[in-house]
Structure 1
Amino acid sequence: MEDFPWLSVLIALPALGALLVSVLPRGRETLVKQVALGISLLVALGTFAMAAGFDSGGSRFQFEEKYWWIQTFGVHWAVGVDGVALVLILLSVVLFPLVFLASWNEAERSGGVDVPPEGAAGRSQGGEAQRSVKTYFALLLGLEAMLIGVFAATDVFLFYVFFEAMLIPVYFLIGSYGGAQRSYAAVKFLLYSLFGGLLMIVAVIWLYPLSAKPTSEGGLGHGTFLFSELSTMNIDPTTAKWLFVGFFVAFAIKAPMVPLHTWLPDAAQQAPPGALVLIVGIMDKVGTYGMLRFCLELFPGASKWATPVVLGLAVLSIIYGAVLAIGQVDLKRLVAYTSISHFGFIVLGIFAMTSTAQSGAALYMVNHGFSTGALFLVVGFMIVRRRSARIADYGGMQKVAPLLAGTFLIAGLSGLSLPGLSPFVSEFLVFTGTFARYPVPALIATIAIVLAAVYILWTYQRTMGGPAPERTEGLTDLSRRELWAIGPMLAIIVAMGFFPQPVLNVINPSVEKTMVRVDQRDPAPEITGNVAENGARP
């Protein structure tokens, strides 16, 4: 099985599944959903089978495939995974079938939720869904193929192709199945992403002549986009800085980091909840993954040059996102701002340049996917019942829907990194690793711990606590299907809160390779004065 093209098959399965779903007969909505769910489960089983053969102590990139794609321009179909890419692909294939379950009836009711405009007045297109059920699930399967591809690509040009291609299903998921202001939100998302992609493609093309090697005739041969070769190049420092900016801005938009974040709250407010789980839980991780993989390893000197500014933006995102979350009146916008804060922690860990912080950041990507994914799903369940995303329209939910209230509480507590739940471990590693090299940003970032407690607990009190008003009386609790969708996420959050080491064992070797490439070593622990003077005691 070592020579089996695992990654190509895993990319092809959901892509072919999207085509299959799109040609199924009209009026067979249940069959469409069953086929989509079955394909996503098949992809998950295949990924687990591949992951079982991953050797964390072996070579960095495993399950590699490399074929010429556009030979004239040095472009390969080159895929492979290291520890970080593997855990992000696992995150993806676990979330997709759960989202399919949670979104079983989402396409039929898309666009009908009462959502406050929040400054977008005059841009409403009405509340009717414009696309079919099979188109909705075909778009989701297409997005799954793009996400597996973007994490598996080891050719920079191929990475860019997947990076841009995943915008297409997301644009239509927001623009066709979103709320009243869906077109505005979808276009804003697309324009931001295309701007970042434009800067990135310039940088990608610039890499090609830089990678060309001299020939025996005295000229230059073909260049390459293979990550393995580009990561060993020594690029002129000034050129490297420009290239770093091109990549970093594209990733900062996707992440999203302040001040390039404004597309996310609008997209979150308008997108259907299931699609939103995939956008924030997985797609946005492409930004932080790209920083760790490409910014640091292709441009190590420029990354160290930019570190003070990036750390400042990361801390700003942490505090800004948390403060704005407190003031939100819309549930989906609130969770979106909490994600901006969490992404700030991930970027802080990446650019702290310590193995502890970077391992914590990579683990944070996974934990945030499950934590925020669970929170968005619960919010979606609430919106289905009340037909509103306004916090003021809730209250007393724990009396009429105790299971819903309980899942909201667990998901919310994971969002504030409560000990015993998975985000706590990753946040603790980021703080510890960052403090060892940059104590001031780490100390400022701790303010977000208090702010997180405020926005989560206050939201729970306003929506779930108190007497049940007439508007919430008679609401049903979670159905069996909804429990099957949210239950595995909560189980993973608890399990990884107590047993994170298996995931860290997969992540750490890749992080060590990144540290070597950027020529950084963990700071030595400081020795107290008494020990330094008197020597170590027996």
Structure 2
Amino acid sequence: MILLLFILIPMAGALLAWIAAAWNQALPRWIALLAMTADLVLAAGLWWQTESATGPWLSTFHRDWMPRFGISFSLALDGLSLLMLMLTFFLGALSVLVSWNEIKERVGFFHFNLLFVLAGITGVFLTMDLFLFYFFWEVMLIPMYFLIGIWGHENRMYAAFKFFIFTQAGGLLMLLAILGLYFVHAHNTNEYTFSYFALLNTPMEQTTGRWLMLGFLTAFIVKLPAFPLHTWLPDAHTEAPTAGSVVLAGLLLKTGAYGILRFVLPLFPEASQAFAPWIMLLGAVGILYGGKLAFAQTDLKRLVAYTSVSHMGFVLLGAFAFSEMAYQGVVMQMITHGISTGALFMIAGVLYERLHTRELEKMGGLWPALPGLGVVSMVFVMASLGLPGLGNFIAEFLVLAGSWQSQPWITVAATIGLVIATIYSLRIMQKVFFGVSWREYKLPDLSFREGLMLMPLIAVIIWLGVYPQPVIRTVKPSIPTVVLAPQAPYTDVAIHPTK
């Protein structure tokens, strides 16, 4: 029942926040914060109990929905899902805080959309029925369109439409692949079902499996995003409000990575191995290409957006290396990227509130005026370039070490991305906080609310860099057989959740 609560709490909070705005404009903020905090506490309690778990699945919930078509309301939680939920609720609460003073119009409707996006993301991380998975995949789309289109910046409608078209097109390809898998499974087993556990061992021809796998993969790499399907991301980030950018970078991108780990690799082991070198090459190209474009940007939010393209390349590289170490590195990268890049977007929002510009050329010499913000920014810039002692270093090291045995030359090319990351990350500090100051700034440093947003992020990124073992231990039981033994046929036993 707790799995259902994870989804119902933000949905109920969304409706309540929208209604409460009619009485008091401050109420929606508190309702949204309370909803996210409640979910975070529940998830933390479950994580605390994982030590006593006896199998990979920590909790399940199953109810028949449309049994005639093999559709059920099936939810299940393992280590991977739990870590993603912790990230979702943590960043969700911070997204409410970061928009506290920024959003002054239609406050109730804003928090309705924000919580509904988070509810859709939660559903994606929990559902074990492919029809239900597609439903939640689409639930994320409309509220994010409104967040960008209503509360965004100058070119918000262009960015919102572009985001909608790209993600909707990818989602439709995935829907076709889901239906294809549904009918292939029925043809070979005489069982019509959308159950993830039943579809795991679907017998199919090699060519069919590869085409179906590409349908899933396309939807996920659009959301990731991977080169060359990334072009919607910089526009969406640049025009979105700060909370929208945090949710996009920290959470929506992770649904694409989660889809690869949860669906592409276990459902299509042979096709995944066949395409692995090309997908790893695509990841390495994305790392280098995203880093180069990040260095070329003059808009701070656009620069941070292109760093996401670069960092998400490590996800493709590690996911298709078929190595336990690389898989753990991918999960670490999903978490640490969400923390560090989410923080950088928060910092961009804090600077915009004070300077009313995101142009790097109009900044410079801000350290004397904003020493507190400068120190915080330095931490996350160092995390972005992969400084040892911070979480991003652990993630990228595990990915590169795990990928070396599979594709050494592609791994070497990807390693060059760390040098590029150092260059564009240091450029942020040079352009914003050091260098020449064109005017004498008298600006307020970090407020209590801003410190409350950023200090937990610093604590988490240092903790993950110094002691990542809890994350690695939590995700280990979730690693699929195809990753542990890529040369052997996939023989994972289908597990049916009980009511």
* Residue from 7, 21, 30 that aligns with 2:26: 30
Tell me by how many angstroms 1:505 deviates: 0.2
Secondary structure, counterpart of 1:258 in structure 2: coil
Contact 2:250 2:337 in 1 (8 A): yes
- Distance 1:514-1:52 versus aligned 2 partners, 3 A rule: farther
With 37-46 and 484-493 compared, the bigger mean Cα shift is at 37-46
* 2:454 paired with 1:480: no
Residue among 78, 81, 101 paired with 2:97? 101
Do the aligned residues in 1 keep the contact of 2:324 with 2:484 (CA within 8 Å)? no
Amino acid in structure 2 at the alignment position of 1:63: S
For the pair 1:17 / 2:44, whether they are aligned, the reply is no
Q: How far, CA to CA, are the matches of 2:467 and 2:339 in structure 1? A: 15
Q: Retained in 2: the 8 A contact 1:300–1:517?
A: no
- Which structure 2 residues correspond to residues 454-533 of structure 1 after superposition, within 5 A? 454-470=423-439, 473-516=441-484, 518-519=486-487
1:255 aligns to 2:224 (yes or no): yes
Supply the distance in 2 between the matched residues of 1:343 and 1:182 (Cα, whole angstroms): 24
| Shift in Å, 1:106 | 1.8
1:221 Cα offset (Å): 4.0
Aligned: 1:91 with 2:87: yes
Q: Provide the residue aligned with 1:529 in structure 2.
A: none
- 1:431 corresponds to 2:400: yes
Q: How far did residue 36 of structure 1 move?
A: 1.3
Displacement of 1:323 after TM fit? 0.4
Matched, 1:48 2:44: yes
Equivalent residue, structure 2, for 1:66: 62
Task: Give the C-alpha shift of residue 466 in structure 1.
Answer: 3.1
Give the 3-state SS of the residue equivalent to 2:405 in structure 1.
helix
* Distance (Å, rounded) in 1 between the aligned partners of 2:176 and 2:435: 55
Alpha-carbon separation, structure 1, partners of 2:190 and 2:392: 48
8 Å CA contact 1:353–1:520 kept in 2: the answer is no
| Offset of residue 53 of structure 1 | 2.5
Q: Which amino acid aligns with 1:200?
A: M
How does 1:375-394 map onto structure 2 within 5 Å? 375-394=344-363
1:81 equivalent in alignment to 2:104: no
1:197 lines up with 2:152 in the alignment:
no
Residues 397-416 of structure 1: pairs in structure 2 closer than 5 A: 397-416=366-385
Could you tell me which residue of structure 2 aligns to residue 449 of structure 1? 418
Structure 2: which 5+ residue stretches go unaligned?
490-499
Matched-pair contact (CA < 8 Å) for 1:56–1:509:
no
For residues 100 and 37 of structure 1, what CA distance do their matches in structure 2 show?
Answer: 6
Deviations along 1:68-118, whole A, 9 cap, x unmatched?
11212111111111211110111111111112112101222xxxxxxxxxx
Give the counterpart letter for 2:65 in structure 1: W
Change over 3 Å in CA distance of 1:228–1:266 after alignment to 2: same
After superposition, where does 1:77-476 map in structure 2 within 5 Å? Answer: 77-108=73-104, 132-212=106-186, 221-470=190-439, 473-476=441-444
Cα distance in structure 2, aligned partners of 1:56 and 1:200? 36
CA contact (8 A) 2:392 2:465 kept: yes
What is the CA distance between 1:235 and its match in structure 2?
Answer: 1.8
TM-score (norm 1): 0.88
Query: Per-residue displacement from partner, 1:411-448 (whole Å, max 9, x unpaired)?
Result: 11100110000010010000100012210011011111
Task: Work out the CA distance in 2 between the residues paired with 1:491 and 1:196.
Answer: 36
Query: Between the two proteins, what is the percent identity of the paired residues?
Result: 37
1:229 and 1:62 map into 2 onto residues whose CA distance is 19
Amino acid at match of 2:263: F
| TM-fit CA distance, 1:513 | 3.6
Which structure would you say has the larger Rg? 1
Instruction: Decide whether the 8 Å contact of 1:193 with 1:253 is kept in 2.
Output: yes
**CA 1:462 to 1:25, structure 2 compared with 1: closer, same or farther past 3 Å?**
closer
Q: Which amino acid aligns with 1:230?
A: L
Between the aligned partners of 1:314 and 1:93, the Cα distance in structure 2 is: 28
Deviation of 1:25 after TM superposition, in Å, equals: 4.2
Amino acid at match of 1:101: L
CA distance in 1, matches of 2:50, 2:76: 11
Distance 2:79 2:21 in 1: 41
How far the C-alpha of 1:226 sits from its partner, in A, is 1.1
For 2:432 and 2:386, locate their aligned partners in 1 and report how far apart those are by CA, in whole Å: 20
Query: Which whole-Å CA distance do the structure 1 matches of 2:204 and 2:355 have between them?
Result: 57
Supply the distance in 2 between the matched residues of 1:92 and 1:430 (Cα, whole angstroms): 23
Counterparts of 1:368 and 1:56, CA distance in 2: 29
- In 2, Cα distance between equivalents of 1:49 and 1:401: 38
Report the 3-state secondary structure (helix = DSSP H, G, I; strand = E; otherwise coil) of the residue aligned with 2:59. Answer: strand
Q: For the residues of structure 1 that align with 2:480 and 2:415, how far apart are their CA atoms?
A: 26
Task: Give the C-alpha shift of residue 50 in structure 1.
Answer: 2.3
Taking structure 2 as the reference length, what is the TM-score of the superposition? 0.95
Aligned residue number for residue 496 of structure 2:
none
**Residues 57, 77 of structure 2: 8 Å contact kept:** yes
Q: Following TM superposition, by how much is the alpha carbon of 1:213 offset from its aligned partner in structure 2, in angstroms?
A: 6.9
Measured after TM superposition, the shift of residue 403 of structure 1 is 0.6
2: CA distance between counterparts of 1:518 and 1:74?
31
Q: CA deviation at 1:516?
A: 4.7
Structure-2 separation of matches of 1:362 and 1:401: 34
For residues 460-512 of structure 1, the C-alpha deviation after alignment (integer angstroms, 9 at most, x for no partner) is 11110135432x61111110000001110111000110000011001112125
Contact 1:56–1:506 (CA under 8 A) maintained in structure 2? no
| Cα distance in 2 for residues equivalent to 1:145 and 1:455 | 34
Letter in 2 for 1:169: P
Q: CA RMSD in A?
A: 1.6
For 1:185, the aligned partner's letter is: A
**Which residue identity is paired with 1:246?**
G
| C-alpha distance in structure 1 between counterparts of 2:68 and 2:277, whole Å | 40
Residue 404 of structure 1: how far off its partner (Å): 0.7
CA change 1:281–1:25 in 2 (3 A) is: closer
